[in-house]
Amino acid sequence: MGKPARVLLDTHRPSLEQVFSEFHLNDILRLYCFHDHHSSPLYNLGFAERIPPYHGWLEGIDICGMTQVYPEDRSMNYCITNARHYARERYG
């Protein structure tokens, strides 16, 4: 399904240490990872420069989803607000 908890920790440890200068692996008592197919996306560093456009790759197909919500919280409320904003801009 997804990566094991230890692999994810090893991947994100440099960022944790950068953000939390007092972070140490010894502080972790237990490590858990829960996978859910219905969770919101995680954005990589520099994502703001790579946000996909609303117009799709095929003529007449537009894309308005969770990816365009950035940098707001990835919640359904912002997704709906984003879709309404796009629909008003596109269709009046």
Return the pLDDT at 7.
93
3-state secondary structure of 43: coil
| Phi/psi at 62 (5° precision) | -105, 155
Q: Per-domain residue ranges for the chain?
A: 1-39, 43-92
Q: How far apart are CA 15 and CA 20, in angstroms?
A: 8
Across the chain, what does the average pLDDT equal?
Answer: 84
Place of tokens 């230890």: 6
Place of tokens 């972790």: 28
Strand positions, DSSP E, 1-92:
none
Indicate the pLDDT class of residue 73, thresholds 50, 70 and 90: confident
pLDDT tens column, 12-47: 899 888 888 888 899 888 898 877 666 667 788 888
Percent of the chain clearing pLDDT 90 (strictly above): 10
